[in-house]
Amino acid sequence: MFDFDEKFIRSLKKQDHSTFNVFYLKTVDIFFRYVDCNYYFEKEDIQDIISDFYVKVWDAVKKYDEKFSFASYIWTILKNTIKDHLKKNSNIPFSVLDKEDTWSSFSEQILDDEDLTLILENNFKFEYIEKSMKNLDEISSDIIYLKFIEEKNNDEIADILWISQENIRQKLSRAIKYLKSLLEWYN
């Protein structure tokens, strides 16, 4: 997703307008889809969030320290923009279900590649998946999104979300089982 080289990032940090336009055009659909799939926002609210996000990126990118992951930096800005929007608009429906207490041991929840492939190859309708994704906790939702929509590997996800690979595997397994149970209910 973020295949920007160091030269591009330095140009972005210098607030070059054409570089920022390229950044915007390459990322706007990704961020819009992410917010749309993971939160109960109207399209107009999502557009407001995305607009605020790019304003914040424009202001914040000049402070970016190149020792750290650019993707993590940008995702953090997006998450903070969403949180700011939620604080300003407390009447927005919001549901985060923390399912940690309902799961049995991790070893019982592990899916092998064959099970995972079967789940993903089922002919689920996108609208059901989208509705179900909104019932996951924020981290699990992010992991699912990054893994299957953005096609990131666990190393990249760990770098973006700043969590361990073991935690990623655990949350991914639990989230898939939970989504599977919800999607079976829809069918």
The model's pLDDT over 44-97, given as tens digits with 9 standing for 90+, comes to 999 999 999 999 999 999 998 888 888 888 988 998 999 888 888 765 544 433
Q: What is the pLDDT of residue 77?
A: 92
| Same-domain status, 34 and 64 | yes
| Same-domain status, 83 and 110 | no
Structurally, how many domains does the chain consist of? 2
DSSP characters over 4-48: --HHHHHHHHTT-HHHHHHHHHHHHHHHHHHHHHHS---HHHHHH
End residue of a domain, out of 28, 57, 88: 88
End residue of a domain, out of 55, 88, 121: 88
Domain that holds residue 44: 6-88
| Same-domain status, 109 and 75 | no
| Same-domain status, 78 and 131 | no
Note the pTM of the prediction, 2 decimals: 0.54
Residues of the chain scoring pLDDT < 50: 93-108, 121-124
